[in-house]
Structure 1
């Protein structure tokens, strides 16, 4: 599952602040192993209604029984099928609820839908997931303070609310840097408690940003165990720090690596200064976020 923080609006292609990337970006991400594209983010409307519909049309063209998108919809009729996104994976039923604090460009025409942080809609989406008898509900918010390595109060309040409403994990994006991880405890019937892991921000995976800490990413793995009786349990969260190398530093192209696996391998870098840069950023991120892999 990956947050796609750009449009596929066609040429002329453009970067910050209004993104339009080639269709091939999504094709390559799919070939790399991503099954679900998240489209609720602040850049999804950068090219207006026309660019938004082109973007969803391409994700729709990619969609098969194994490839999906969620977080938005091209029209109200399609929305219930896409949001929440209900999946069955090896006999485990999962609901994904993706939403954003807002968009940089307003939609304007009232037709297409990008789901915002609207607790009325979120309550309804979580209720829909429960009524569909899913085993797990994963909330995927686009939120938080950009470039901050720590969560803010608004994120923490919303995470607590999502846990109280029945979400089993919360995995966030938007700040462009990793943020701290938390475990919340939601009350269950009978006085029992459920642990709800929260990753406030995954940071960037593939990016050309140069600000401090923005080339450090975080991959979060949610593992589900099924026992002989069919009982399903969410196992403890696993995380992996990543680093996005630029052309001419480690390889001749962009390359995303599992960061800890490359520690002590400075001699493999084409440009050893980038290894030093990685190490400096990694140490700072770990110190402030207190994330232990």
Structure 2
């Protein structure tokens, strides 16, 4: 009898432990879900209509910022292998139905010469590895988009097109720019938009204003309204904020409010190179949007404080359709923090932060708890 009681006690402890792990990876706040109901055009079939439902997981990771020390470490003879850097987390990257990354460096390849900071150009193989690891689409609208000029940008986009990796934010033509990038999974259409605050002072050639989406409220409003007509969910990838600041600026918060007021569902931010918190923002007419102010660096050569910690934010989206009414529900996001380990600018490898002895050695045994709490600080402004 005592043995049975002991085994039952152990089972209960294990059960609570599992529940605790699940909860700690969920970003919790008082507004953890959002439901939106729309009326569609067409004849209402009333009670005879059959309810249809589906759900997907949308996710994003931060900056793929390939410094020269990173691609030199990936070099294997006459090619580059970034797979080994991602191996420890690749299974996690394959879990979401749709995953987007910020490809911060162009991937024009060796034909024009590889380069790191301040004017980046990366090997083709980083794009290959991202696609292999589970990335479904990349945003290319960032301050390094024209680091090596318009021709280099074209080579980069040509390669992404060649391997079938969708991209958003930079374009080869005005026609391309005018098309909303929509990906569909399980009957749910997701529109991806992307903009950057600037290009490090590099001017856009006259007549080629289409090559990069620069922040412009009128254009953004028009594109958001167009995206809402073509998709169930609108995702904004935005390059903004101040580098190395762990909390959003007032400008970020004001722009986030603008996006939500316009009807954007999810905002994924980049540029600070460190993680910034997640919060729900309420817009007019009751619309709410989820804002991840900064996803930080995902894979990069930066190892300064907090610049080697990033992660993946995942949101579950549910769609229900009955007659001419469609409802979209977004549930509380989960966060999977990651750490980039290296030794003397070599041996770059990514690890789950929770299991990384390297991160514990560098920071503290409580680094995982610290980061999870940081992401729940609801976007307090600097």
Question: What is the TM-score of this pair, normalised by structure 1?
Answer: 0.85
**1:18 corresponds to which of 109, 115, 119:** 119
Residue 30 of structure 1 and its aligned partner are, at CA, apart by 0.8
Q: Secondary structure at the match of 1:179?
A: strand
- Give distance in 1, aligned partners of 2:198 and 2:282: 28
- Give distance in 1, aligned partners of 2:311 and 2:133: 17
Unaligned runs of 5+ in 2: 1-99
**8 Å contact from structure 2 (residues 109, 122) kept in 1:** yes
**1:6 corresponds to which of 94, 97, 105:** 105
Q: Deviations over 1:143-174 (max 9, x none)?
A: 00000000001100000010000011111011
Q: Deviations over 1:18-39 (max 9, x none)?
A: 1011111111111111010111
Residue 93 of structure 1 and its aligned partner are, at CA, apart by 1.1
Question: Do structure 1's residue 31 and structure 2's residue 132 form an aligned pair?
Answer: yes
- Give distance in 1, aligned partners of 2:168 and 2:147: 18
Unaligned runs of 5+ in 1: 267-271
Other-structure match for 1:164 = 261
- Size of the aligned set, in residue pairs, is 271
- Give distance in 1, aligned partners of 2:376 and 2:233: 27
Question: Do structure 1's residue 122 and structure 2's residue 220 form an aligned pair?
Answer: yes
Residue 209 of structure 1 and its aligned partner are, at CA, apart by 0.5
Other-structure match for 2:183 = 87
**1:220 corresponds to which of 289, 310, 313:** 313
Residue 253 of structure 1 and its aligned partner are, at CA, apart by 3.7
Q: Spell out the pairing of 1:188-267 with structure 2 (5 A cutoff).
A: 188=285, 193-227=286-320, 229=322, 231-246=327-342, 253-260=347-354, 262=355, 266=357
Misfit runs of 4+, over 4 Å: 227-230, 280-292
Q: Deviations over 1:120-159 (max 9, x none)?
A: 1101101111222x21111110000000000001100000
Other-structure match for 2:166 = 68
**8 Å contact from structure 1 (residues 222, 234) kept in 2:** yes
Check 1:156–1:107 CA distance in 2 against 1; reply closer, same or farther (3 A cut).
same
Relative contact order higher in (CA < 8 Å, ≥ 6 apart): 2
Residue 2 of structure 1 and its aligned partner are, at CA, apart by 0.3
- Give distance in 1, aligned partners of 2:321 and 2:224: 28
**1:53 corresponds to which of 154, 176, 185:** 154
**8 Å contact from structure 1 (residues 215, 243) kept in 2:** yes
Check 1:45–1:282 CA distance in 2 against 1; reply closer, same or farther (3 A cut).
farther
Residue 195 of structure 1 and its aligned partner are, at CA, apart by 2.9
